[in-house]
Structure formats: C-alpha cells, structure tokens
Amino acid sequence: QKEVEQDPGPLSVPEGAIVSLNCTYSNSAFQYFMWYRQYSRKGPELLMYTYSSGNKEDGRFTAQVDKSSKYISLFIRDSQPSDSATYLCAMSLNTGNQFYFGTGTSLTVIP
C-alpha cells in the first residue's frame, strides 16, 4: 500500500466551478500536510501548508485536514483557466523530514 493515495484524474471543470481534490494516507504519524501545484514542464510549487487537523484558507483556496479519517482536501473556488495544472498533495512526519507525495491530480478548467 502506498503511503499517500491520490486520484490521478484527469478532472475537467468549467470556469467558475468549485473544485475538490483529495488525498488519503496510511501513516497516522504524518503531521504536516501540503498542496503543491505543478504546471506542465515546470517543477512543483507550494500552494498551501497545514499543520495537524483543521482548515486553512488562502484566497480562493481552502485546505482541510481530517486526521481521524486520514483524509485531506483542497478546494478551489471560482476556478480559473490559470488553475489548470497538476495538484500534488504531500505529507511529512516532522520538520525537515522527507516529504511523501501523492501521484497528482490533473485539472483542466475550461473557459
């Protein structure tokens, strides 16, 4: 079983839609949860970072962590064509430790 599972999609939505991206994980010791965005032919870049359970909001993006269910989500409101990218979840046991990445979900927002 992989440490982190993520539906690869692809996901295609119309502009303005709410997008929900999800990951599940098996290691209950994970404490740090991140979402990275990767545009084609580019390296991943950090979108959001959350420690332990709870919600975090940044503009149109909301990250949720449910440690009891070992489930994390990223919501994108009012999706834009510029949001078209691959979204990777990542987790870490503690600071400075290796990151465990999901395989990524490919998202296309259609104008």
Partner 1 sequence: DSGVTQTPKHLITATGQRVTLRCSPRSGDLSVYWYQQSLDQGLQFLIHYYNGEERAKGNILERFSAQQFPDLHSELNLSSLELGDSALYFCASSVAGAWTGELFFGEGSRLTVL
Residue with tokens 């979108």: 47
Does 23 help bind partner 1 (rule: CB under 8 A)? no
State the amino acid at position 15 in one-letter form: E
Does 82 help bind partner 1 (rule: CB under 8 A)? no
Does 88 help bind partner 1 (rule: CB under 8 A)? yes
Q: How far is Cα 4 from Cα 18, in angstroms, rounded to an integer? A: 24
Eight-class DSSP state of 1: -
Q: How far is Cα 86 from Cα 9, in angstroms, rounded to an integer? A: 9
Q: How far is the CB of 16 from partner 1 (least distance, A)?
A: 29
Does 95 help bind partner 1 (rule: CB under 8 A)? yes
Binding track over 37-76 against partner 1, x by CB under 8 A = ----xxxxxx--x---------------------------
